[in-house]
Amino acid sequence: MALLTDPDFPNALWLTVVFLLVSAVIGQNFLGLALALMTANAPKIVRSIVATTVVTAWVLPEIVAAFACYAFFSSDGTLNALTGLAGIEPVEWLFAYPLAAVVLANIWRGTAFSMMIYEAALNDVAPEITEAAVIDGAGGWKRLAFVTIPMIRNSISTNLMLITLQTLSVFTLIFVMTSGGPNQRSTTLPLFAYAEAFGLGKIGYGTAIATVMLLLGAVFSFLYIRILKPGGNA
């Protein structure tokens, strides 16, 4: 009951949903699929360069990736150095746009996982089916929408469930970059649970927040299965 009457809980829940949808469902998922499609027929050297570049972020320990992103978005960091070359005044990115910064950081770090899932799925699509669609006059977008996507929908569902659970548990990345601030503008449920359980000593309250995270993951997983199951409807 205390959780439902806490004015800080709706904010943390909303930020968690936004962080999840933008950085995982939209960012990692679609960017991973786009990279897999672009490199499917690319020369080997191009595939190697893309894979190395993208996977490097994924294999980094989370604490290392977090400090790298903090350095990139800090007031005297790489981003302001690059924009300064164009004559743009420095911006306190982590203060002005904290949620956007952690969203971009999570996309950068997690896209490799989706890309590898989709590369494996695309390799299992029989070339004969794609060739038949080409003969029937289907263009690139039609082949993607009516041939490729339906054939890899199980992989899409699996990928969405996994990156959803991974993103729901993201703590170190946000804690290092913004600590949930300023003014709780990037406080997702994991940081909210940590602050309540270990900052204020409310272990039971922190456990209740963790239970909400579990339920949130279950709801998203159920939706993925319902929407993407063979013959399923949205």
Burial state string for 105-129 with b = 16 or more CB within 10 A and e = fewer than 16: bbbbbbbbbbbbbbbebbeeeeeee
- pLDDT tens string 175-216: 999 999 999 999 999 999 999 999 888 999 999 999 999 999
* CATH code of the domain in which 34 resides: 1.10.3720.10
- pLDDT tens string 218-229: 999 888 888 877
pTM confidence score: 0.90
Cα separation of 4 and 162, whole Å?
28
- Name the band, by pLDDT with cuts 50, 70 and 90, for residue 57: confident
Evaluate whether residue 199 is within a structural domain.
yes
Evaluate whether residue 211 is within a structural domain.
yes
Evaluate whether residue 104 is within a structural domain.
yes
Domain range for residue 145?
2-228
Total tally of structural domains belonging to the chain:
1
Joined together, the tokens standing for residue 148 give 């490729």
Q: According to the model, what pLDDT value does residue 1 have?
A: 58
